[in-house]
Structure 1
Amino acid sequence: MSFFNKVFASVGIGSAKADTRLLDVNVRAGEEVKGIVGVTGGKTEQEISEIYLSVMTVYVKEADDKKYSQQAEIAKIKINEPFVIMPNEHKEIPFNFLLPEDTPVTYGQSKVWIHTGLDIKNAVDPSDQDAIHVHPGRLQQELFNALGELGFQMRKAENEAAPATLSKRLPFVQEFEFYPYEGPFRGKLDELEIVFTNIRKDRAELVMEIDRKAKGFSGLFSEMLEMDETAVRLSITDRDLPQLKAQLQQIIQRYS
């Protein structure tokens, strides 16, 4: 390899390229993601130290009365051992990994993508980005189904910077906003907000904020002071599923 080719490779000119192909872009949180990373060599021989996949999302952070978009890495997975790729050579590396249970659901403003990067010795790292559609995990879906049976419909979902009281592994939480469009709580509640604080395969912990509808002057006064909101902590396991709808109805009825 000539001196000029070495210089070009060191600044990323003519370097290898990565392209990730997913078996299915529809994925459920907690389940397996499968695909292939295709690597095509550039104009020079190069050593690929590492291929990594980062599961990424964006959340809203507020500071000085302004809102900012911030990226967050949910998981980072290394999928290879070091290898050398020759000029114009093509290699395909299959991969599979479990999507973390706390990956945000891609509803509303919540977006999730997989960032593929190559760690190339003495070169600018090429990268690739692939959006995925993340569906609720099993226990999340059971909760959403129960709320739907009670007449609630999801209106909004957004990732927001986590307050200190809810801060866990990730710097944000996903907030789901529901409104009662029919059923026993229509006209009684303004909205219902759900934040999952901890999600595992066998347990989901959450905070449910019940926003009562203002009734008369006293109700309006309470609403102005945000006294019409009640936060309830819940924990759901498989044992709760048969009675989940009744349990939710009883809790919401108590505070509505």
Structure 2
Amino acid sequence: MALFNKALARIGIGAARVDAKLVNDEFRAGEKIEGIVEVYGGNVEQKIDSIYLRLFTTYVKERDDKKYKQDIELNTFKINDPFTIQPSETKSIPFTFQLPDDTPVTLGRTRVWVATSLDIKDAVDPSDIDHVKVLPNLMVTSAIEAMEQLGFRLRQVECEEAPRRMRKRLPFVQEFEFVPSGGLYAGKVDEIEIIVQPSGLHDYDLFIEVDRRARGFGGFLSEMLDADESLVHVHVSEKEIPQLKNILTNIISRYS
């Protein structure tokens, strides 16, 4: 029977299970995620080589005029040394890891999750998934508030594959798309797209595109490939946030 149980465990039947429990489920990029991974022994003794926490999101890629979503690993964290889990035993392993500064905000269609997996030799690796809410950092929050004050509303947030000249650690950027809801720019501007990229401890690169006509999904990054003259790149520090509304006003007025 013992050999039979081991054979079943190799294909995942009666094997060890894993469950990650987060202390919180709301964070900002750069903050620490804390929690406990609980490993539940199955019907047989099993050696756990490693426990990995992998942080994922998705972004939109385009190939042959077709768009599709691609999962991407933002970071990986190993939290243990090898150990053996006995039948019906429970082990609790605390963990702490830091969200990368370039973790996208979970607004619009963007999702971020932690995948926890056990690395078991010669067996199916059990896994667990926990979604987390990533709140906007100070610069993103300030940009959204400034745009709302200028008479725009946030219409869409999407992670899209970036041109090579815009890539940093990751192959995508998160785009915030705004449309006029009234005010000075109604009838003059169809949409404005903004990308916020960390460039230091308290510094950010902002890319702003003012569109006089709606080009639809993907227009912003498409025009970036052509080095469109209406693409504006500004460097803004957190100290300049009180002037952010004026900075955006000058750019929008120039191209509207």
Matched position secondary structure for 1:14: coil
Report 1:31-50 matches (<5 A): 31-50=31-50
**Distance in 1 separating the partners of 2:58 and 2:189:** 30
Structure 2 residue identity aligned to 1:10: R
**2:120 alignment partner in structure 1:** 120
Of 9-18 and 226-235, the range deviating more from structure 2:
226-235
Give the root-mean-square deviation of aligned CA atoms: 2.1
Structure 1 residue identity aligned to 2:87: P
Matched position secondary structure for 1:110: coil
TM-score normalized with structure 1 length: 0.88
Report 1:95-244 matches (<5 A): 95-212=95-212, 230-244=230-244
**5+ long unaligned stretches in structure 2:** 215-225
Matched position secondary structure for 1:76: strand
Structure 1 residue identity aligned to 2:113: W
**CA drift at 1:92:** 1.4
**2:3 alignment partner in structure 1:** 3
Structure 1 residue identity aligned to 2:206: L
**CA drift at 1:64:** 1.2
**Distance in 1 separating the partners of 2:142 and 2:48:** 44
Structure 1 residue identity aligned to 2:67: K
Cα distance change on mapping 1:2 and 1:171 into 2, 3 Å: same
Asked if structure 2 preserves the Cα contact closer than 8 Å seen for 1:72 and 1:171, the reply is no
Asked if structure 2 preserves the Cα contact closer than 8 Å seen for 1:189 and 1:211, the reply is yes
**CA drift at 1:93:** 1.4
**2:223 alignment partner in structure 1:** none
**Distance in 2 separating the partners of 1:101 and 1:147:** 23
**5+ long unaligned stretches in structure 1:** 215-225
Cα distance change on mapping 1:200 and 1:52 into 2, 3 Å: farther
**1:63 alignment partner in structure 2:** 63
Cα distance change on mapping 1:124 and 1:213 into 2, 3 Å: closer
**1:218 alignment partner in structure 2:** none
Structure 1 residue identity aligned to 2:114: I
**CA drift at 1:74:** 0.8
Structure 1 residue identity aligned to 2:119: D
Write out per-residue CA displacement over residues 62-104 of structure 1, whole angstroms, 9 at most, x where no aligned residue: 1112112211001111112221111111111121211111111
Report 1:66-105 matches (<5 A): 66-105=66-105
Cα distance change on mapping 1:162 and 1:23 into 2, 3 Å: same
Asked if structure 1 preserves the Cα contact closer than 8 Å seen for 2:2 and 2:44, the reply is no
**Distance in 2 separating the partners of 1:200 and 1:131:** 27
Write out per-residue CA displacement over residues 152-202 of structure 1, whole angstroms, 9 at most, x where no aligned residue: 211001111122221221121111101121333222211110123445431
Cα distance change on mapping 1:138 and 1:81 into 2, 3 Å: farther
The number of aligned residues is: 245
Asked if structure 2 preserves the Cα contact closer than 8 Å seen for 1:212 and 1:228, the reply is no
**CA drift at 1:227:** 11
**1:15 alignment partner in structure 2:** 15
**Distance in 2 separating the partners of 1:237 and 1:22:** 32
Structure 1 residue identity aligned to 2:161: A
Write out per-residue CA displacement over residues 8-62 of structure 1, whole angstroms, 9 at most, x where no aligned residue: 3333322111111112211112212122111111111111111111111111111
Matched position secondary structure for 1:158: strand
Matched position secondary structure for 2:243: helix
**CA drift at 1:205:** 1.0
Matched position secondary structure for 1:115: strand
Cα distance change on mapping 1:199 and 1:25 into 2, 3 Å: farther
Matched position secondary structure for 2:179: strand
